Structure 1
Amino acid sequence: MKDGVLVIDKPEGLSSTKVVEKVKRKLKVRKAGHGGTLDPFATGVLPVCLGKGTKIAQFILEGDKEYEGTLELGLETDTYDITGEVLARREVPENLSLEDIQKVFDEFVGVIEQAPPAYSAAKLHGRPLYKYAREGLKVEKPPKKVEILAFEALKFDPPYVEFRVYCGKGTYLRSLVHDVGQKLGCGAVLVKLRRLRKGPFTIEQAVTLEELEKKSPDEIEDYIIPISKALEFIPAVTVGDELAAKIRHGRPLAISAVANMVRLQKVPQRPRVPWLRLLTPAGDLVAVLEYPEDLHASGYVKMVRVFS
């Protein structure tokens, strides 16, 4: 079986970890891991890294995401979604329109502070928050900055709102919906969620677990995205074969050299991801390095991973 990334269309009701276990059993691979958790009730794009592909999971976790979903107004639960215990029911304002909802959505576009839900895998003192919650302990993790690139209200059929959101890594959609409900004054919970894109991976590339079971090993290999292609969302510069060989043998690379390559090869100087790929003239992947915050600084770049 090839190393790389297999995009699964995760079904409702399974955890991301359970999906990975099913993929491992089907493909008979020893090493596999997912590139970004989806809640059990959510569906859609779940990148599964296979074999040596697990070495690039850290990069896949960084990519932007696109979702479509449905929220219900007038309801609050302890999990911020429809699966939780109901904490409150409130009246939805009678004159509320799709335009009014969009105005509230617009307030969340940009870099915002967001706290994770109590029932989430976010960790506090090394323990997932959901473990504290299940023990009846009320703890709060400090909010962190996340980025909402676009937030669109698609349809309003009271009390339900269909929406689409584009966001950066680390965004909790349940928290976003909860905060919308607080702004509107009536509460809101997430009812449905489908991930359409995670980094470079789209729902069009995905295969369902049912389809996977019916396919032969050769047919499945056609769906596996090679490591080099899976990282194409990271900006790249080309280095000569001689320099590539030296980097693979541990030679440090000066920030000034990277700055010259970025300038001469017209690479975006402020990419949305904090890395840069080094490629040979033939397009082979040499390394992924940490994109320097200051291209005019002295010193050497940090190599995140070197590929032989």
Structure 2
Amino acid sequence: MEAKASLLNGILVIDKPQGLTSTETLEQVKKILKIKKAGHGGTLDPIATGVLPIFLNNTTKLAEIFLEGDKIYEGEFQLGITTDTYDITGEILSKAEVPDISIEEIQEIANSFLGEIEQIPPPFSATKYKGKPLYKYARDGIFIPKKPKKIKISEFKILGKEDSKIRFYLHCSKGTYVRSLVHDLGKKLSCGAVLVNLRRLQKSIFTLDKSITLEKLKELYSQGLDKLMPFIIPPESALEFLPKVIVSEDLSQRIKDGRQIHTSSFLSFIKFQKLVISPTEKWIRVVTTRGKLVAIIENPLLNPSATYIKYFRVFKD
């Protein structure tokens, strides 16, 4: 079974348990499946649970594409507290009386974060400074100020309130720190706020209803790979949201051989097939007439004056 598992190529959506880092969860998957090559798509804090895509073997080449996708969460924050980590696991820095405020009033403040905003990463985060994560500096008492970066909040809904604890729903772009969002909301309320729990419902195209726990993964693997395969998402299926260009077997082989293809020729090919591809799309998938994935290329419409198309990933198998 070990040899067969090493040939697994696809994406596995893990329901990350609370208390483990994303890297620790990844290592658990590699240990269970007895594989050496795998990577995760999108870091979750130890306090968080939910969707963690795991890219197995050759599909690690695709992780970058899915890191671009939006994220959807449900969670809970507590008013009246601030901590050094911006969540309930950190050292308490201050306590304040919680104002008598309605859900509607909290929602109004939450709405002020909608759209494109600038956000500063929390001091305890995986964001790097000179190649070293901020949390390592913070553990040594060194707090490195970081420049704010642009993120987008599409939805920030207040779902309920029980005493000082507030439940919420959040749809945001990549790079968003939910802890920082909660911390900033607490500032606007003048009482502070910390994240208490967080569950990721979706990352890019990957959803919680397609996920599997580490315990279930171990159980299915022990029963044979055929029991596990329904949970492995093939790369061809995962990439269906990308524009598709169908090529002949001859051109497919030329691409697999690493031959250079003129941009002008490829653009003519797209025009001949009457394909409608947005110039804002970053990637295009190239497949054979049989539906076999050949390559992911950078959209030539982004740089039509380039001499040759630029390969992002080529699949020779």
* TM-score computed with the length of structure 2 as normaliser: 0.89
Counterpart position of 1:270: 280
With over 3 angstroms needed to count, the CA separation of the structure-2 counterparts of 1:235 and 1:99, relative to structure 1, is farther
C-alpha distance 60-279 of structure 1, shift in aligned 2 (>3 A):
same
CA contact (8 A) 2:11 2:233 kept: yes
Alignment: residue pair count: 305
Query: Is structure 2 residue 18 aligned with structure 1 residue 12?
Result: yes
2:156 aligned residue (128, 151, 155): 151
Aligned counterpart, 2:203: 198
Give the gaps of 5 or more residues in structure 1: none
Give the whole-Å Cα distance in 2 for the aligned partners of 1:39 and 1:100: 29
Give the whole-Å Cα distance in 2 for the aligned partners of 1:251 and 1:245.
Answer: 12
User: Aligned pair 1:66/2:87, yes or no?
Assistant: no
Closer/same/farther in 2, CA of residues 49 and 75 from structure 1, 3 Å limit: same
Q: Which runs of 5+ in 2 are unaligned?
A: none
State the alpha-carbon separation in 2 of the partners of residues 79 and 304 from structure 1: 37
Question: SS of the counterpart of 2:24?
Answer: helix
C-alpha distance in 2 between matches for 1:265 and 1:24: 40
1:120-164 CA-partner distances (Å, limit 9, x unpaired):
111011100000000001211211111222211111223111111
Aligned to 2:9: 3
8 Å CA contact 2:264–2:307 kept in 1: the answer is yes
- Match for 1:217 among 205, 215, 224? 224
Task: Report the alpha carbon displacement of residue 196 of structure 1 after superposing the two structures with TM.
Answer: 0.7
Does 2:67 match 1:45? no
Coordinate RMSD, CA, aligned: 2.0
Q: Which of the residues 235, 248, 256 maps onto 1:248? A: 256
Relative to structure 1, the CA distance from residue 294 to residue 15 in structure 2 (aligned partners, 3 Å threshold; closer, same or farther) is: closer
Distance, in Å, in 1 between the alignment partners of 2:301 and 2:133 is: 32
Q: What is the CA distance between 1:118 and its match in structure 2?
A: 0.6
Distance 1:163 1:260 in 2: 48
Displacement of 1:297 in angstroms is: 4.4
Superposition TM-score, scaled by structure 1 size: 0.92
Aligned to 2:240, what secondary structure does the other structure show?
Answer: coil
Q: CA deviation at 1:261?
A: 2.4
Distance 1:68 1:223 in 2: 24
Q: Give the C-alpha shift of residue 236 in structure 1.
A: 2.6
Kept in 1, the 8 Å contact 2:201–2:208? The answer is yes
Q: How does 1:268-307 map to 2 (within 5 A)?
A: 268-271=278-281, 274-292=282-300, 294=302, 297=305, 299-307=307-315
Structure 1's 46 and 295: CA in aligned 2 closer, same or farther, altered over 3 A?
A: same
> Percent of pairs identical after alignment?
49
